[in-house]
Amino acid sequence: MIGIVNYGMGNLRSVQKALQRVGAQAEVIDSPGQIASAKRLILPGVGAFADGMEHLRERGMAEPLKQFADSGKPMLGICLGMQLLFDSSMEDAPSADEPVLGLGILPGKVVRFQEDQGPDKPRLKVPHMGWNEVTFAPDTPLFVGLTPGDHVYFVHGYYCVPDEASDAAATTDYGSTYCSAVHRGNVWATQFHPEKSQRVGLQILENFANAELVHA
């Protein structure tokens, strides 16, 4: 069973329906006690980083999520769910020296796109919204069956910067090249929305449901 974590900030039904389309059994998890029983786990999310962390803490889900990540079972973050896996974010931070703390499952930070790209360059539209090309790391089990030039759907104003460049599983160009998917051990995450990315997204979710991801 694939558990989809409900902490009040995700497209739960869209993710569940997409998984069902590829033949996967998926259930929405509403309580922290259900997290450990999932065989695979998805942390979705739409909205602000600080709100997401507050919701997770209020529902008692932060520690069970860390424990699941430590269990070795496959885990997938989507959009805000990817960002929450990291150490900290500058979204809604009181100052540059006081970032909002995340789950700390992945080492790194979350920063904002800068509209001003410098002299003689067009201003960047923030948030980054719509379809964009993704460059996938080679021989990555989550992305089996995809081809160069494939596009996926994004909606975000912030992006993740892993401490370790090797954690980047995919990159995207938007103003500059940034990390749009990560992989560390049994933990995977995408900044884009697989459930909104049609054929490409369904292939990714099918891979997550069926592929050997723990020791990838």
Residue 120, pLDDT score: 78
The CATH number covering residue 130 comes to 3.40.50.880
Per residue in 10-41, pLDDT tens?
889 999 999 999 999 999 999 999 999 999 99
Instruction: Report if residue 159 sits inside a domain.
Output: yes
Q: Is 133 a catalytic residue?
A: no
CB burial string 122-157: b at 16+ within 10 A, e below: eeeeeebeeeeebbbeeebbbbeebeeebebbbebe
| List 128, 160, 195, 206, catalytic entry | 195
Does any domain span residue 119? Answer: yes
Alpha carbon distance 113, 80 (integer Å): 15
Q: Which one of 79, 91, 160, 206 is the catalytic residue?
A: 79
In Å, how far from its chain's centre is CA 90?
17
Peptide bond into 138 cis (omega under 30): no
Task: Answer yes or no: is 123 within a domain.
Answer: yes
Q: How many domains does the chain have?
A: 1
| Structural domain boundaries enclosing 26 | 2-210
Per-residue pLDDT for 51 more than 80? yes
Residue pair 1/25 in contact (Cβ under 8 Å)? The answer is yes
User: pTM for this structure?
Assistant: 0.94
Give domain status of residue 216, yes or no: no
Annotated catalytic residue within 91, 128, 193, 206: 193
Decide if 195 is catalytic: yes
- Whether 32 maps to a domain, the answer reads yes
The pLDDT assigned to 82 comes to: 98
Report residue 152's pLDDT band, with 50, 70 and 90 as the boundaries: very high
Please give the single-letter amino acid code of residue 188: W
What pLDDT score does 216 carry?
39
Distance CA 29, CA 9 (A): 13
C-alpha closest to that of 54 among 100, 116, 117: 100
- Identify whether 182 is part of a domain: yes
Asked if residue 215 belongs to a domain, the reply is: no
Query: pLDDT for 120-150, tens place per residue?
Result: 778 899 999 999 999 999 889 999 999 988 9
Could you tell me if residue 139 is inside a domain? yes
